[in-house]
């Protein structure tokens, strides 16, 4: 389906409406949560010189329980924070938010398995 004001997601190919509930500068796909490195300094400026894809790497909460996506450019490594929209995939948002729980921070914790901390291993 095509929208009057839209873009095609460079990651999954879905046609995405620019009119998004909950944000005035949509730059990520509600289906896969990927984005493009478009903005340089402020949301909506569209002045980035980098054409890289922006991978959703984390979710944070800001203000009054407002979920924000954190994207990392696959080309230059820049981090950007973007508001989520009401039509974003809730399942994918939860999967991105849960990634730190699924991947412990170091090799010692990964080898110990669930339920162990580094202090317990040392003693």
Considering the entire predicted model, what is its pTM?
Answer: 0.74
Q: pLDDT digits over 53-70, tens only?
A: 999 999 999 888 889 999
For residue 52, what are the contacts with CB-CB under 8 A and spacing of at least 6? 36, 37, 73, 74, 75, 76
Q: pLDDT digits over 21-63, tens only?
A: 877 778 899 999 999 887 777 766 676 788 889 999 999 998 8
């Amino acid at each position: 389906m095509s929208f009057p004001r839209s873009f095609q997601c460079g990651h999954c190919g879905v046609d995405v409406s620019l009119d998004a509930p909950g944000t005035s500068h949509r730059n990520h796909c509600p289906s896969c949560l990927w984005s493009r490195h478009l903005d340089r300094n402020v949301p909506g400026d569209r002045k980035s010189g980098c054409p890289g894809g922006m991978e959703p790497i984390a979710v944070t909460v800001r203000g009054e329980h407002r979920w924000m996506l954190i994207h990392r450019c696959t080309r230059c490594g820049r981090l950007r924070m973007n508001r989520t929209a009401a039509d974003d995939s809730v399942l994918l948002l939860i999967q991105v938010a849960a990634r730190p729980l699924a991947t412990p921070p170091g090799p010692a914790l990964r080898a110990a398995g669930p339920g162990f901390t580094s202090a317990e291993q040392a003693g």
